[in-house]
């Protein structure tokens, strides 16, 4: 018989899938590292279980303890799966810009969810960063994960995601493109690929309202770059320790509208039902077209599943409210009448 001992043993070994229609005008091959095949439907499963194992080994997470983390939803899901299997209490602190689906899914797997305002500074006691730290300090036996600065985040991708991409491409990968949030994926995968071939180019996809691109190019943390944005899962108003700017060759920024529109295009044109950051990632690849040549193999990583965005990106009314879709003529006529 062939079976996994528990759901955590099914994490990893996700497929590479060729993008065909959306990238047809690019000179190179584009392959998607399709992370929704993980049991929690996102790339974050990898680092979640790695961070828990590391905390157990260091003795900071003990049997019957409580895991506390600030999350946009996906890391919380991965941590929740680990908490269920290993017998921990799970508390997720999430910002109010995240989709309702993410909050409901976290509750469905046993998480206690605290929702915090998005439009406050990271050091504000109401922010989800501050709230997560406070809860971890107040609750006996709690461990604050801190995915942004936890080195096990990057290590997970250096040990698993990077080697998988190298093996699946037969060492032919020339570019790696991925949205950047905590920095663990781009830093871990990028470091591994460059250790195998220093010529591999590593590109980060950023969003408007985030500090990454300007900081990488100038070394300046410009607070004027920070403002609220809609795209979930990428960009930051802080500089996480897991973002290794030295291994990143450059960033490209994608607008909220393009991220949303290309997320829907992936579903309609490629049959890929994915989350908001996937649209940003594939749009980023298209924006980088002048960097690619016919012999290149570009790998773009898709973080999570479309089921977490049904009420937003895949909802026509929501898309029109944001100005991401043209108004529906029938609806407009009805309003006027």
Residues with a catalytic annotation lie at: 44
Print burial letters for 68-91: b (CB count within 10 Å at least 16), e (below 16). bbbbbbbbbbbbbbbbbebebbbb
Terminal Cα-to-Cα distance of the chain (whole angstroms): 66
Does an H or E element contain 68, and which? strand 66-70
3-state secondary structure of 333: helix
Beta bridge partners of 172: none
Distance CA 189, CA 24 (A): 26
Alpha-carbon distances, residue 165 vs 47, 110, 181, 184 (angstroms): 16, 33, 20, 16
Token pair of 244 as six digits: 């290794």
Beta bridge partners of 176: 202, 299
Closest CA to 178 of 216, 213, 199, 205: 205
Measured in degrees and rounded to the nearest 5, phi and psi for residue 203 equal -120, 135
Cβ contact 4:272 at 8 Å: no
Distance CA 61, CA 263 (A): 38
Distance CA 35, CA 41 (A): 7
Closest CA to 32 of 145, 146, 169, 231: 169
Closest CA to 99 of 115, 83, 111, 78: 115
């Amino acid at each position: 018989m062939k079976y996994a001992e528990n759901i955590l043993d099914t994490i990893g070994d996700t497929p590479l899938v060729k993008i065909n229609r959306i990238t047809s005008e690019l000179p190179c091959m584009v392959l998607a590292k399709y992370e929704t095949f993980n049991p929690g439907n996102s790339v974050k499963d990898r680092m979640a279980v790695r961070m828990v194992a590391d905390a157990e080994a260091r003795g900071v997470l003990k049997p019957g303890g409580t895991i506390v983390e600030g999350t946009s939803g996906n890391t919380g899901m991965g941590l929740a799966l680990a908490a269920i299997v290993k017998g921990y209490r799970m508390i997720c602190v999430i910002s109010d810009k995240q989709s309702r689906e993410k909050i409901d899914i976290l509750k469905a797997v046993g998480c206690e969810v605290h929702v915090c305002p998005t439009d406050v500074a990271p050091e504000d006691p109401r922010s989800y960063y501050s709230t997560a730290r406070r809860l971890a300090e107040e609750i006996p036996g709690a461990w604050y994960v801190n995915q942004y600065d936890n080195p096990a985040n990057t290590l997970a991708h250096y040990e698993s995601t990077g080697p998988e991409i190298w093996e699946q491409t037969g060492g032919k990968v020339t570019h790696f493109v991925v949205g950047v949030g905590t920095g663990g994926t781009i830093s871990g995968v990028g470091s591994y690929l460059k250790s195998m071939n220093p010529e591999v180019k590593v590109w980060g996809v950023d969003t408007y309202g985030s500090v990454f691109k300007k900081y990488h190019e100038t070394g300046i943390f410009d607070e004027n770059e920070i403002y609220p944005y809609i795209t979930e899962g990428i960009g930051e108003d802080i500089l996480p320790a897991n973002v290794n700017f030295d291994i990143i060759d450059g960033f490209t920024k994608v607008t909220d509208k393009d991220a949303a529109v290309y997320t829907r295009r992936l579903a309609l044109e490629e049959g890929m039902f994915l989350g908001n950051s996937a649209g940003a990632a594939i749009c980023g690849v298209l924006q980088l077209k002048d960097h690619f040549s016919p012999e290149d193999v570009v790998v773009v990583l898709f973080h999570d599943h479309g089921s977490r965005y049904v009420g937003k990106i895949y909802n026509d009314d929501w898309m029109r409210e944001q100005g991401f879709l043209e108004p529906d003529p029938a609806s407009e006529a009805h309003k006027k009448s």
